[in-house]
Each structure stands twice: as C-alpha cells, then as structure tokens.
Amino acid sequence: MFWKPLSKYRCPNGLDFEFIFHNVGHGLFYSGKLRFGSDVFNFIYDCGSRNDSLIRNAVNSYIYNSLEEPRIDLIILSHIDMDHVNGLKYFFSNKIQINTVILPYFTPLERLIIALAYPYIPNWYLEFLADPVTFLVENNIRRIILIGGGKGGEENREGIEPNRSPSDDRNYIDLDGLRDDLGLKRFIIQAEPLWKNFMNKKRLLVKSHHGKVSLISVWLMKFFYYPLEPSVLNMFKKCVDSIMPNLSNDPSKIKKLIKENKLTELKECYKNLPLKPKLDINDTSLVLYHMPRYRFRSRGYLTFTSSNSSLTTYRYSDIFSRFGQLLTGDINLSNKRVYKNLKNHFKNLFHSVVLGMVPHHGSRRSWNSQILKDTPNSEIWVISTDLRNKKFQIHFALYEILTKGRIPLIVNEYNSIRIKGYFRL
C-alpha cells in the first residue's frame, strides 16, 4: 500500500488533514486523515451504498490510495441501515485492522423493524442486525462503543481550547471526556446478556453523547444521539405480539428470528406501519461534529476539490477558530423536537460550523432551512445522493442553500469531494 501526500501545502511543523466524501451514490462514505508529527489517525463516518459495486470500488480505492498501513483507527456508524454499513465487509475481506467502532444502540425490536424494511437481506447483514456487537467482535474489532442520549453531565466549556499547545503525551483516542451511560448499560445487560462478557473484558463500552472525544490530542469529536420515542413502537409491538404472542418482550427470540431470516409472517406489521414511525427510526442517527482542538496561531489553507473539476481554493485568516464539520447521517431535522434537542446539545458550536451535510441524501422530508440561520458561518453544504433517485427532491435544499448565499456541493455516483489543508503551529 502506498500513501499519497495529503496536500501540496503539507506542513512538516503542523497538523495536516484530508477529508473525503466518496462517490457512492445513495449512501454515505466519509473518511478523514489527520497527521500530527509522526502520528497518523484514520477515521470513517459511515461506509455504505445502495449500489454494492460503488461502495466496493470506493473502499478498495481508499485502502490502496489513502492508508499508509492496513489500519483504521475509528469507524463511526450513524445508524445501521444497509446503505450506511455495507462497506464494512470489504474492509473485513481486505484484512484491515479496525481498532474502534462507535455506533448508537438499537434494541432488538428496533433492529427487527430495520430488517423487515428490506425485501432481500444478505446473510452477513442478518447476522449484523441480529447481534451487531458479536458480529463486530468476531470480525476482530478491538473495541466497540455504544452511544446513548442518557444523562451524563455536561462539560464545562464548548469549542476550541485557546492559548494551549498540543501535548507530546498523546492518546490516539482519548475517551475520558465522554460520559458513561449507566442507565443504558443496565438496560443492555438485561436485553443482551451475552454482551456483559464483552463489557467485563473492556471490548464493549456504553457511553452517553455528553462530552467529547479527543484524537491524537489535536482534534475533537462531539456526538448527538436522539433515542426513539417509545410511542413510535407501540403499534408495531401490538402487531407482532398478535402474530407471535409476547414476542416484543423476548429479545433472544427476536434476534433468532432475524438471524434465521424467519420474518415472512411479520412483514405485514411493517407494511401497516404509518410513514411517520418508519421515518422516526432515522431520528436515531448519530450526528458527528468534529473540529480542531486548539486555536493555532498561524493561518492555514483549505482546498475543496471535486473529482470532476477543480473548485475554488479557500484561504482563511482565522480558520482555526471556526473549522467545524457537522455530519448528520439520516437524521430528520424537520422534526421540531429533534432539532431543538440538537441545537441545545451543540450550543455555541453551531457558530463554528464551516461545513455541514444535508441529512438523508438531500431528502425534502429531513431538511430544515432553520439550520442555515443557526449556523451563520457555515459556507459549504454537502449533499450525498444518487442522481437517478428523484424521490428525495434535493432541489428544495439546494434552492434554500443558494438563496442564503451558501455553497452546495453534490456528491453522487460520479463525483467525490476532497478537502485538504494544514494548520501551522
């Protein structure tokens, strides 16, 4: 494997970075590379597509063109729909060592709803939905972190830490700032008793979305998770219990049905669900905000490059005080309760957003133009979509982004977006 330089602006005495929205059509595959001194940190946010050949090609290209060694430090899964996770199998088949996976927790009943949504499910995905933690452990993931939205206490301050320098004593992934979610942990031990062994061995951690994660001491991540409202599941629970008595209260039986693909009898329960509960599953998408940890004193460079054409090079005099990226998965921003919680959770970090992602492949149902007002410094908005899919009506988000004077960038089956730059120490 050969590493290609992050940028022609590579800074030997600073922090180099490269972020890529890969061309996978309907789905999402976002990768990040951070280089600080001798440390290189590779992370991924979602890795999937409805088109299996597109995600296979994108993963193979990423492995051979971006990785210096067969190791990925962190993969974050916003949710577990197949078009966001099916690239994992190509990392496994290429023997790539994945150190940590972070994902939201879905109950067995919620995973059953996801399984019933598909007319055809490959065996590997059935195993994943039946027991995602065991599936990841058996594929040699060293550590899994499940994220909940439980109370864990808020941090004392938000944003970049001023007037400090990166420490020489660096942890690749420092989880000390991420709170434990003890309530969710107790629930999981009851619903998924086999996972307790992984917890005891520190292979499985259960965390709240309160707090931050530090990467090689110079980059920060903060998550937002909105748990599914219990009322959403009530109609579905009644239906499945009417077909298989007390099924909704038997997690082990649900997991067995998923794994063995004995779902035919329950298909009607999914078909009879109103549209809103089906869409609400997307509200559990794990939102990722990431940014530099420190305010570096010198200016740096950002270049945005399309795989089809060169875009404008952006040079910021104060880029370090506000170079945040907001990756939204499939979350539904038009849900007023979800959006209010999202805004309150990130607080003043919204003012540091330079690049945002339109959720759910540009879907009109999931878009909320209010976020353009609440992120006044956001200049770039990325839509990851499929040109052939007219159902999502991305022109509504495009129009509002353009009328607010922002720049929309489209990632699809033909076009990828690469962001490069450096921060000088």
Per-residue pLDDT reduced to its tens digit, 230-273: 777 888 899 999 999 999 999 999 999 999 999 999 999 888 87
Task: Compute the C-alpha angle 22/23/27, nearest 5°.
Answer: 90
Reported as a single tens digit per residue, the pLDDT across 28-77 is 999 999 999 889 999 999 999 999 999 999 999 999 999 999 999 999 99
Domain map (residue ranges) of the chain: 14-424
Architecture of the domain spanning 14-424: 4-Layer Sandwich (3.60)
Q: Is the dihedral of CA 68, 409, 46, 39 positive or negative?
A: positive
- Asked if 42 and 3 count as a contact pair (C-beta separation under 8 A), the reply is no
Compute the distance between CA of residue 408 and CA of residue 196 in angstroms, rounded to an integer.
45
Non-local (6+) Cβ contacts of 286 within 8 A are 76, 77, 78, 79, 102, 103, 104, 147, 209, 223, 224, 225, 329
Non-local (6+) Cβ contacts of 130 within 8 A are 111, 255, 256, 258, 259
| Better-predicted residue by pLDDT, 325 or 168 | 325
What does the pLDDT read at residue 2?
31
Amino acid code (one letter) for 222: K
Asked if the model's pLDDT at residue 204 lies above 50, the reply is yes
Q: How many CA atoms lie within 13 A of 271 on its CB side?
A: 7
* pTM above threshold 0.75: yes
Q: Please provide the size of the chain in residues.
A: 425
Compute the distance between CA of residue 249 and CA of residue 280 in angstroms, rounded to an integer.
21
CB neighbours (10 Å) of residue 203? Answer: 16
Amino acid code (one letter) for 228: L
Compute the distance between CA of residue 12 and CA of residue 138 in angstroms, rounded to an integer.
39
Reported as a single tens digit per residue, the pLDDT across 114-160 is 999 999 999 999 999 999 999 999 999 999 999 997 654 444 444 55
* Greatest alpha-carbon span in the chain: 65
Q: How many CA atoms lie within 13 A of 240 on its CB side?
A: 27
What does the pLDDT read at residue 63?
97
Compute the distance between CA of residue 102 and CA of residue 335 in angstroms, rounded to an integer.
24
What does the pLDDT read at residue 311?
53
Compute the distance between CA of residue 161 and CA of residue 296 in angstroms, rounded to an integer.
10
Asked if the model's pLDDT at residue 377 lies above 70, the reply is yes
